[in-house]
Amino acid sequence: MGMGSRSRSSSRLSSRAGLRVRLGVRKKQSVVKMDKRLKYLVIHCTATPERMNVTPQQIINWHTKPKPFGRGWKQVGYSKLFLLDGKIHSFIDEDNNELVDEWEITNGVSGINNIARHICYVGGCDKQMNQKDTRTQKQIDAMVSYLKEFKKK
């Protein structure tokens, strides 16, 4: 059945020749969305003073609450947050393949979000709010471990 004659279901997932394609129908027109290949891993910091504890909920609030209380984004800007104690918080589920699926897109860097994964560590500023690598040894160890696994993809 061709795309023009398909049923009016809202979406369907198809796989041909190893390519994942999301098909959908909107206003009697066919829409094809292709998952993009992952090209970038962007490492962010929270831009908070060293040793200041930042929770995942604070990040969610900073990114998703309406202005002026937040950025007003529909989704948080990172997929992972590296906490001071080395624990890793996942904001979104990832299927850990080389494609950036629609639900894996975060708001980290305008223009490349659909081909990038964004991770973030808590810190990034000294007590006077100057830029500084403030990662704890536990954060560094967790990031190195994550990057080794990421590189295998």
Q: What is the CA radius of gyration of the chain?
A: 19
Same domain, 111 and 49: yes
Residue 103's CB: how many other CB atoms inside 10 A? Answer: 11
Residues 82 and 19 occupy one common structural domain: no
42, 67: one domain:
yes
The angle formed by the CA atoms of residues 124, 126 and 130, to the nearest 5 degrees, is 80
Tens-digit pLDDT profile for residues 43-80: 999 999 999 999 999 999 999 999 999 988 888 889 89
CA atoms lying within 13 Å on the CB side of residue 151 = 6
* Domain coverage including residue 14: 3-34
Domain count, the chain: 2
Q: What is this structure's pTM? A: 0.71
117 pLDDT tier (thresholds 50, 70, 90) = confident
Q: Which tops the pLDDT comparison, 68 or 26?
A: 68
Q: Indicate if 104 and 60 belong to the same structural domain.
A: yes
Identify the three-state secondary structure at position 30. strand
Token pair of 150 as six digits = 């990421």
Whether the bond into 68 is cis, omega within 30 of 0: yes
24 and 41 part of one domain: no
